[in-house]
Chains A and B, each alone.
Chain A
């Protein structure tokens, strides 16, 4: 440690190496060398993480669930959550909670007709990135650009896959863009992430292409089909509009959307490995709190039409 000249040399080497890596990764994001390195590191670290999550998983789920409940904000819900959490102190209860999540996931997948691979979250992104790692990989049939959902709705999309793990870009990430449809009339738009999921309030930003659209708080959103159903399969519940933030002169109608999924307490999720045979349209949506409000038949037919050509419509606008 004495030779500071050598230390400075080392420092400059390290800095140059880091900058070179950044530059390489920045220029060609899909540089084969870096990708290979990242894949190798991913499988190594992923294996370690999935091993570690055996130990740490219950802790995360317990704490995450508890804090997420408290961030809901409603006193009644909070009290109920508290009572429930007290009852669920034991590990057995925790696994029962997992079971409940899995059950809801399967119910949602069954309603929509999705074929899912169930997986659990083993690691969370660092810093400003809204990503998670799941313990299912290519050996389970997971491929990049597949939809990830849980029992409540859309979680995100798979971005990279190793043999045993995959990385999911959450819908709350600022770089995530999800095509959506407005529930009653099938208006097309997209939501981007607000950037913070940890608070449990990570709201998404919605933009609807049709400037004439009138948005109301409480309007529900489902995912619109992507081209060949990748990365997003149609019909997955995304969230509800909480407030309209129209700006004068904006080309699009803007609003804030609260996602159905509680991103602060993700644990069991499903990766859609096969899209539904028929577009489930709005059938997967949970009932609206005030009134179930099934969409009118006539409009539904219209929206079916537009749903089929959903992507081209969006492009046409």
Chain B
């Protein structure tokens, strides 16, 4: 409802500004930017095909009907609904890279302008000649190109503020019932079943879906998006916010397959050979890159292997998810059991010292988690740092879990295809360079982690968290996956951000508790 209102207000404002100011400006070249079109583009790119389509149609109809309009009714409605739909389908670019998203916004805007010109040429009075169009169109296109990143930026900021989920999975026709990613043929079914058996996932889409191969990366990059948008912190408040939400990626993984989450443990240096040498610049989080959170092996389906009988209650997941659990890498399965260290420093041993073949998930025990070192935040959902009932059956001990570490941002690429980056300006600092030993940072903002929480956990990987244990215990809020593993795509969106139990403004005392 709130989103609807904001979209309507934005479109109305754009329309009024367009008609009363912009069209009256004598800009060089004779053209004028089309703010309504750019608004529709931004809405489509952030809201998805349906939102873009409806917004485009309504905005175009309003433009057709608003008084100085002299053209045939329906011209702009036709063009703008196509533009909105196209932008919605291009929404996945938003989660890939900033440049790609901006390029697609600009491209669709230009296409829209050209389409308008064509319709005018075909339908309007014959006196509007190609010469007239050629006179006005270039400058119009230039203005649109200049303004489209601005509108995209504003749109994404607003959408993030509203908790919109940028998961391109939602737009994927491949995942639709009967879509291409749905196992349809016998071979697909067999493959999916094999995959399911091998990975513990339910294999939807994995079998043949190009979409799914990009899905985890997309989620991660979605947070990168926001990181890009948020930029470096400029105020104390922003820094505090960021330190809460920023998770530090250690530049090293002691052993292939180890998964570091949370702050960088003191004294941990990248071991030789563990992190492939990367000269400079952004490090790509690709499988086998050795960066924490990346897949250990290319082509491995994501998996967080738990131990048998692991009993991860929903509460734990909820806490971790909302606390900015972004880490989704593929923790290597296979013979080596993964070592996962959630939490803060001091768990070094837990992560590394695990013997071969001894699965161990170590969590910090009770007590507030300090945002140590790289700034792993505590879970504000679970400020006490303890999750009642959360239990990991790691052998004989059943430690209490403080699951709510800050983000696990560097989730790996889902493997295999290509090497998408978290390049959406994920703000990888200079510390990421290999060999410096300093923790690399990914900056994320809360909203994205919020929005990511549901879908992330919804991903098929999560379900394997339970290992071979009773899956029914894994109940992920806002997830597409229900207990028992049934995939229910009809879950209303935006549930996860409404599920926040402790408001953010209430959470900081606990969060600061560590430093006070």
Counting CB contacts under 8 A, is B103 at the interface?
no
Counting CB contacts under 8 A, is A175 at the interface?
yes
B23 close to A124 (CB less than 8 A): yes
A19 close to B69 (CB less than 8 A): no
Counting CB contacts under 8 A, is A192 at the interface?
yes
B67 close to A162 (CB less than 8 A): yes
A4 close to B176 (CB less than 8 A): yes
Q: Which of B371-396 contact A (CB under 8 A)?
A: none
Counting CB contacts under 8 A, is A15 at the interface?
yes
Q: Which residues of A contact B66 (CB under 8 A)?
A: 41-42, 45, 49, 123
Partner of A1 from B68, B77, B493 at Cβ < 8 Å: B493
B127 close to A175 (CB less than 8 A): yes
Q: Which residues of B contact A15 (CB under 8 A)?
A: 78, 81-82
Bound: A233/B217 CA distance, A:
69
B26 close to A1 (CB less than 8 A): no
Bound: A196/B129 CA distance, A:
12
Counting CB contacts under 8 A, is B50 at the interface?
yes
Counting CB contacts under 8 A, is A92 at the interface?
no
Bound: A127/B411 CA distance, A:
46
Q: A131-B70, A159-B70 are in contact. Are A49 and B123 (CB under 8 A)?
A: no
Interface readout for B40-75 with A: 1 if CB under 8 Å, 0 if not? 000000011111011011001111111111111111
Chain B residue at minimal CB-CB distance from A66: B26
Counting CB contacts under 8 A, is B472 at the interface?
no
Chain B residue at minimal CB-CB distance from A121: B24
Q: Which residues of B contact A52 (CB under 8 A)?
A: 16, 20
Q: A133-B68, A199-B26 are in contact. Are A1 and B49 (CB under 8 A)?
A: yes
B20 close to A122 (CB less than 8 A): yes
B69 close to A1 (CB less than 8 A): no
Q: Which of B3-62 contact A (CB under 8 A)?
A: 12, 16-21, 23-32, 34, 47-51, 53-54, 56-57, 60-62
Chain A residue at minimal CB-CB distance from B179: A4
A60 close to B74 (CB less than 8 A): no
A7 close to B53 (CB less than 8 A): yes
Counting CB contacts under 8 A, is A38 at the interface?
yes
Bound: A24/B72 CA distance, A:
9
Q: Which of A1-26 contact B (CB under 8 A)?
A: 1-7, 10-11, 14-15, 17-22, 24-26
CB distance from B7 to the nearest CB of A (A): 13
Q: Which of B12, B74, B135 has the most CB of A within 10 A?
A: B74
A128 close to B124 (CB less than 8 A): yes
B71 close to A127 (CB less than 8 A): yes
Bound: A200/B25 CA distance, A:
10
Bound: A133/B124 CA distance, A:
20
Counting CB contacts under 8 A, is A74 at the interface?
no
Q: Which residues of A contact B125 (CB under 8 A)?
A: 174-175
Counting CB contacts under 8 A, is A94 at the interface?
no
Q: A21-B77, A67-B26 are in contact. Are A2 and B65 (CB under 8 A)?
A: no
Q: Which of A254-312 contact B (CB under 8 A)?
A: 264-266
Partner of B65 from A42, A121, A266 at Cβ < 8 Å: A42
Q: Which residues of A contact B21 (CB under 8 A)?
A: 56, 59-60
A1 close to B171 (CB less than 8 A): yes
Q: Which residues of B contact A63 (CB under 8 A)?
A: 25-26
B82 close to A1 (CB less than 8 A): no
Chain B residue at minimal CB-CB distance from A18: B78
Q: Which residues of B contact A1 (CB under 8 A)?
A: 47-51, 88, 170-171, 493
B49 close to A169 (CB less than 8 A): no
Partner of A126 from B19, B82, B171 at Cβ < 8 Å: B19
Q: Which of B51, B73, B117, B135 has the most CB of A within 10 A?
A: B73
User: For chain B, what secondary structure do more than half of its interface residues adopt (helix, strand, loop), or is it mixed?
Assistant: helix
Q: A6-B50, A63-B25, A68-B26 are in contact. Are A37 and B74 (CB under 8 A)?
A: no
Counting CB contacts under 8 A, is B132 at the interface?
yes
A26 close to B72 (CB less than 8 A): yes
Q: A128-B132, A165-B67, A198-B26 are in contact. Are A56 and B127 (CB under 8 A)?
A: no
Q: A1-B49, A195-B127, A198-B26 are in contact. Are A22 and B78 (CB under 8 A)?
A: yes
Q: Which of B166-181 contact A (CB under 8 A)?
A: 170-173, 175-176, 179
Q: Which of A53, A121, A125, A126 has the most CB of B within 10 A?
A: A126
Bound: A67/B29 CA distance, A:
12
A64 close to B24 (CB less than 8 A): yes
Counting CB contacts under 8 A, is B85 at the interface?
yes
Q: Which of B17, B65, B489 has the most CB of A within 10 A?
A: B65
Q: Which of B16, B61, B70, B76 has the most CB of A within 10 A?
A: B70
B68 close to A125 (CB less than 8 A): yes
Bound: A173/B135 CA distance, A:
14
Counting CB contacts under 8 A, is A185 at the interface?
no
Q: A19-B74, A22-B78 are in contact. Are A5 and B25 (CB under 8 A)?
A: no
CB distance from B196 to the nearest CB of A (A): 22
Bound: A33/B483 CA distance, A:
54
Bound: A121/B176 CA distance, A:
51
Chain A residue at minimal CB-CB distance from B117: A128
Chain A residue at minimal CB-CB distance from B177: A5
B70 close to A167 (CB less than 8 A): yes
B71 close to A64 (CB less than 8 A): no
Q: A41-B66, A128-B128, A195-B132 are in contact. Are A265 and B26 (CB under 8 A)?
A: yes
CB distance from B88 to the nearest CB of A (A): 8
Bound: A48/B12 CA distance, A:
10
B173 close to A4 (CB less than 8 A): yes
Bound: A308/B127 CA distance, A:
30
Bound: A6/B170 CA distance, A:
12
Q: A67-B26, A174-B127 are in contact. Are A129 and B70 (CB under 8 A)?
A: yes
Counting CB contacts under 8 A, is A132 at the interface?
yes
Q: Which residues of A contact B30 (CB under 8 A)?
A: 196, 198-199
A17 close to B77 (CB less than 8 A): yes
Counting CB contacts under 8 A, is B158 at the interface?
no
Counting CB contacts under 8 A, is B136 at the interface?
yes
In the assembled complex, 15 residue pairs joining A and B whose CB atoms fall closer than 8 Å, in A order, are A1-B49, A10-B54, A17-B77, A21-B61, A21-B73, A22-B72, A64-B24, A67-B27, A71-B26, A124-B20, A125-B23, A128-B136, A175-B128, A196-B132, A196-B135
Taking A167-B69, A195-B128 as given, write out 7 further A-B residue pairs in contact, using a Cβ cutoff of 8 Å, ordered by the A residue number: A1-B171, A17-B74, A22-B72, A22-B74, A129-B124, A195-B135, A198-B32
**B interface residues, Cβ below 8 angstroms from A:** 12, 16-21, 23-32, 34, 47-51, 53-54, 56-57, 60-78, 81-82, 85, 88, 116-117, 120, 123-125, 127-129, 131-133, 135-136, 170-173, 175-176, 179, 489-490, 493
What 5 pairs across the A-B complex have the smallest Cβ distances? A21-B74, A174-B127, A124-B23, A41-B65, A264-B26
